[in-house]
């Protein structure tokens, strides 16, 4: 993959800064947090300034609120309660922004804070509002600094990790590149922290991933760290998300102070997730990746073929089963006869109505549902094949 060529198309870039990149570490241990590393914040303010000076539009997604709050409140232990974590986020977020504001100001850059939650991304209107705010900031040369609204969201309804958030932001902001600054240099052929067993090849960095296959997801494993939330696994899922939107994602070592310079010089650092195909449109992306599906619709083989191979809408005649409770306009999973999800879409009928009209020919459906009649259960414009 020619990275120089890829970079030529980049004007707007979203950079995710992980907690581990901007935190101090205790000597010898990788898990204990010692608070915000202001030198790193200063370092990245300079790096961003360089990018802005050569014409890039830069938005940051920064973690570190909980980490900064933990150390300020002296809550450096595991198993914090939800209110304790939220208190950390509240205290830490302002400390974090204070630091960004001061360091960026020194570079002559203004910053603007945006705190987002799942609700903002799931609601089309709020999603567009967030997009407009980011546009408005960038067009005025302001650097948006985005984080999850951690102080008021509980775990069950959280986006949960800033890798996922940064992917959503990259897509909604129409960025041409997402850079994830991590404390590891990218994705490896196996866990680089594990010593090789006899005869095993050393762990090698994978420089380019064209498709996030289940094997790639497995390679990513899960995080074992108290500082970072996601680990490589959420990075790979984030990359999968941006790739389906046609946006390349690059996971690089944010502790390497020269890393952004290397990236923009086209050097083969980190792992690039990119494929030139597989791009889906904005709205479809929102359906596939942002909305949380509620309920399931099971369809027969004929309907599966029509949807997956011929790009057709889903009609009542093809529906064989309904699972869960949903309303008009909800996002549902669409499963084949083997219970395998192959598509998602916005439904035109509630689950109750669906139950009554499943399997029916269009002409009979009208008689059953009356004036709220729709020919399609899910129109193809509202449907994404996964």
Residues found near ligand GLU in the complex (CB under 6 A): 19, 63-67, 147-148, 150, 161-162, 228-230
Indicate the burial class of 292 (C-beta count within 10 angstroms; 0-12, 13-18, 19 or more): exposed
Residue 72 neighbours by CB distance under 10 Å = 16
Residue 186 Cβ, how far from ligand GLU at the closest point, in Å?
Answer: 17
Residue 47 Cβ, how far from ligand GLU at the closest point, in Å?
Answer: 20
Residues 98, 80: Cα–Cα separation, whole Å: 24
Residue 354 Cβ, how far from ligand GLU at the closest point, in Å?
Answer: 37
Q: Closest CB to ligand GLU among 161 and 353?
A: 161
Residue 218 Cβ, how far from ligand GLU at the closest point, in Å?
Answer: 21
Q: Closest CB to ligand GLU among 91 and 297?
A: 91
Residue 178 neighbours by CB distance under 10 Å = 30
Q: Closest CB to ligand GLU among 47 and 228?
A: 228
Residue 126 Cβ, how far from ligand GLU at the closest point, in Å?
Answer: 18
Q: Closest CB to ligand GLU among 25 and 380?
A: 25
Q: Closest CB to ligand GLU among 36 and 377?
A: 36
- Percentages helix, strand, coil for the chain (3-state, rounded to 5) are 45, 20, 40
Residue 109 Cβ, how far from ligand GLU at the closest point, in Å?
Answer: 21
Q: What is the SS3 assignment for 192-230?
A: CCCCCCCCCCCCCECCEECCCCHHHHHHHCCCCCCCCCC
- Close Cβ partners of 365 (under 8 Å, ≥ 6 residues apart): 316, 357, 373, 375
Residue 220 Cβ, how far from ligand GLU at the closest point, in Å?
Answer: 15
Residues 270, 104: Cα–Cα separation, whole Å: 26
Residues 330, 323: Cα–Cα separation, whole Å: 13
Q: Closest CB to ligand GLU among 150 and 253?
A: 150
Q: Closest CB to ligand GLU among 144 and 230?
A: 230
CA-based nearest residue to 230, from 175, 287, 148: 148
Residue 224 Cβ, how far from ligand GLU at the closest point, in Å?
Answer: 14
Question: Do strands 341-346 and 383-385 pair parallel, antiparallel, or not at all (unpaired)?
Answer: antiparallel
Residue 18 Cβ, how far from ligand GLU at the closest point, in Å?
Answer: 6
DSSP 222-273: ----SS-SSHHHHHHHHHHHHHHTT--EEEEETTSTTHHHHHHTT---SEEE
Q: Closest CB to ligand GLU among 4 and 157?
A: 157
- Close Cβ partners of 150 (under 8 Å, ≥ 6 residues apart): 65, 66, 85, 86, 89, 93, 158
Q: Closest CB to ligand GLU among 185 and 230?
A: 230
What is the end-to-end Cα distance of the chain in Å, rounded?
Answer: 25
């Amino acid at each position: 993959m020619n990275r120089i060529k890829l970079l030529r198309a980049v004007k707007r870039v979203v950079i995710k800064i992980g907690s581990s990149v901007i935190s101090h570490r205790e000597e010898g241990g990788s898990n204990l947090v010692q608070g915000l590393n202001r030198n790193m914040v200063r370092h990245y303010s300079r790096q961003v300034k360089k990018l802005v000076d050569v014409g890039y539009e830069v938005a940051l997604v920064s973690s570190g609120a909980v980490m900064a709050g933990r150390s300020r409140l002296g809550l450096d232990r595991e198993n914090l309660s939800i209110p304790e974590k939220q208190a950390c986020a509240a205290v830490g977020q302002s400390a974090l922004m204070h630091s960004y504001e001061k360091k960026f100001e020194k570079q002559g850059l203004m910053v603007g804070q945006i705190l987002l939650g799942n609700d903002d991304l799931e609601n089309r209107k709020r999603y567009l509002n967030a997009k407009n705010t980011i546009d408005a900031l960038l067009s005025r040369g302001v650097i948006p600094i985005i984080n999850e609204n951690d102080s008021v969201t509980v775990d069950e309804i959280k986006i949960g990790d800033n890798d996922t958030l940064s992917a959503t932001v990259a897509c909604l902001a129409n960025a041409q590149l997402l850079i994830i600054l991590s404390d590891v240099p990218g994705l490896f052929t196996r866990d680089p922290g594990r010593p090789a067993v006899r005869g095993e090849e050393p762990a090698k960095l994978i420089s380019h991933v064209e498709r996030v296959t289940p094997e790639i997801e497995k390679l990513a494993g899960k995080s074992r760290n108290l500082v970072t939330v996601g680990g490589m696994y959420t990075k790979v899922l984030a990359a999968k998300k941006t790739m389906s939107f046609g946006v390349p994602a690059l996971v690089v070592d944010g502790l390497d102070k020269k890393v952004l310079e290397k990236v923009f010089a086209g050097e083969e650092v980190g792992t690039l997730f990119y494929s030139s195909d597989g791009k889906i449109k904005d709205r479809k992306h929102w359906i596939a990746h942002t909305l949380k599906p509620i309920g399931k619709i099971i369809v027969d083989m004929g309907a599966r073929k029509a949807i997956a191979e011929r790009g057709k809408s889903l009609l009542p005649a093809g529906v064989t089963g309904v699972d869960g409770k949903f309303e008009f306009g909800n996002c549902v999973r669409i499963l084949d006869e083997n219970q395998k999800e192959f598509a998602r879409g916005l439904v035109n009928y509630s689950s109750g109505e669906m139950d009554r009209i499943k399997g029916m020919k269009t002409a009979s459906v009208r008689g059953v549902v009356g004036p709220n009649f729709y020919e399609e259960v899910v129109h193809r414009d509202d449907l994404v094949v996964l």
